[in-house]
Amino acid sequence: MTGEKTVLGLILDGGRARRMGGADKGLLPLAGRPMLAHVVERLEPQCAMLALSANGDATRFAAFALPVLADDPPGFAGPLAGVLAGLEFCRRAAPPLTHVATLPADAPFAPRDFVARLIAALATTGGTVALAASLGRTHPVAGLWPVKLAPALRHALIEEGLRKVEAFAARFSLATVDWPGAPIDPFFNVNTREDLGRAEALIALAARV
């Protein structure tokens, strides 16, 4: 691959957010803006274009002026269905794009070198899929996926009922890229109302990294 100009940035906001009372996490306010706006700000400069993986009424995201890709197959099959939607969008509408970089909508501190480092890892290792890691944990939904995996992923979802992102990634040559967790974990997830409060406290520090 030749770099960020071949990459679709896909923000995954298709979950049910049960620990947030079913709220749409990407639209929750963080420092006066929807949390999704922070992710867009971080990811957009790193990619050829952005899209949003989300289910339900797409008009709620109209202010972002992004393509909204619903899960196919539907039925909240989890983040793998969102990854598939991004891969198939590239095959259908954007043939020059060779890879999809995925980030969850509740990761407002994502690294500004996210895509570049994943690309470099694949180039160095000859791997097929690259995933991010920090603080000793791999983050399966923060990764780089080649568009050519779309048929294999559709088969895994529909014919095998596969749901775990890490299980699908493990079928291929995998590169893992580690980011430091200080001064802030770039893959901090806002999963609860308490996490949202922590994110508010961290937002000023995050602006400097």
The tally of domains found in the chain comes to 1
The gap from C-alpha 50 to its chain's centroid, in whole angstroms, comes to 11
Q: Where are the beta strands (DSSP E) in 49-171?
A: 49-53, 68-69, 99-104, 129-134, 137-146
Give the structural domain span for 131: 4-206
Q: Output DSSP code: residue 26.
A: G
Contact 146, 128 (CB under 8 A): yes
Q: First CA to last CA across the chain, in angstroms? A: 27
Q: Which CATH number does the domain housing residue 136 bear?
A: 3.90.550.10
Helix axes 114-125 and 35-43, enclosed angle (nearest 10):
50
* 141 φ, ψ (degrees, to nearest 5): -90, 0
Residue 187 tokens, joined = 């893959």
pTM of the prediction?
0.92
Contact 51, 89 (CB under 8 A): yes
% residues pLDDT > 90 (the chain)? 75
Residue 193 tokens, joined = 């109302």
- pLDDT tens for each residue of 95-143: 789 999 999 999 999 999 999 999 999 999 999 999 999 999 999 999 9
